[in-house]
Amino acid sequence: MDSPSGIEIAPDWREALSLKNAIEDRITKGKYGGKPRPGGPRSTLCISSQVGCKMGCTFCATGSMGFKSNLSTGEIVEQLVHASRLSPIRNVVFMGMGEPLNKYNAFVEAIRVMTTFPFQLSPKKITVSTVGIIHSINKLHGDLQNINLAVSLHAPVQDIRCQIMPAARAFPLEKLMNALAEYQKKSQQKIFIKYIMLDGVNDEEQHAHQLGRLLDTFEVVRMRFKFVFRVNYNFGP
């Protein structure tokens, strides 16, 4: 394949170009088949805060690669810069590689940049997903108002959480739920609860009842369930 300037493009660049075209195609056509979307064009960008991750969740491919490095504020914002060239970004979710609240200052600063000129994203369109870093959740509302908080709960009791999310050992479930209740009281916002149902691990009827009791005192909670069957599930040692 030749570029418009007549320079031959190497095979790996062809792959990159084809990937870029596929992404553009997806963004422009998407589920609306190229027709204007209600409310105008908008895209959601999934952002990474680290290269790899030290949390070690046993169901996560990133967790299995270990921790490589933190991303700086500039590197986090740069993802928005590049994506904005492809499509207007309306929503940002910190659900890519890494635990955003682990490198708290870089994360907070990145959101401050994203919500001011020239990006001017609405904080209400930004969601941060965490395994539950309690000391960071405790100061989140004081540093950033109106962003959405999503918590990877994945189990209704501490021992199952520790089994599938080793980092949970440092963040006891009872203390985490207290921190979330306090956050919700201060922010008056919904909390997103993420729960991956792992076959034979956390998907039994008793777990549903435990989950109901755990979340009973929360006024408004949105739940997001995902089903994973054991054949795809990589238990840690």
Residue at token pair 């777990």? 207
Q: What is the dihedral of CA 27, 31, 37, 39, to 10 degrees?
A: -90
User: According to the binding rule CB under 6 A, does residue 132 interact with ligand SF4?
Assistant: no
CB of 98 to ligand SF4, least distance (A): 6
User: According to the binding rule CB under 6 A, does residue 136 interact with ligand SF4?
Assistant: no
User: How far is it, in rounded angstroms, from Cα 23 to Cα 12?
Assistant: 17
CB of 79 to ligand SF4, least distance (A): 15
Quick check: helix, strand or coil at residue 203?
Answer: coil
User: According to the binding rule CB under 6 A, does residue 55 interact with ligand SF4?
Assistant: yes
CB of 106 to ligand SF4, least distance (A): 16
Residue type, 117: F
- Cα dihedral sign for 69, 74, 80, 81? negative
Answer for which of 51, 60, 113, 157 binds ligand SF4 (CB under 6 A) is 60
Closer residue to ligand SF4 in complex, CB, 129/184: 129
Query: Please, what's the largest Cα pairwise distance for the chain?
Result: 65
Answer for which of 106, 110, 131, 211 binds ligand SF4 (CB under 6 A) is 131
CB of 102 to ligand SF4, least distance (A): 8
- What are phi and psi for residue 166, nearest 5 degrees? -55, -30
Binding site for ligand SF4 (CB under 6 A): 53, 55-57, 60, 62-63, 97-99, 131
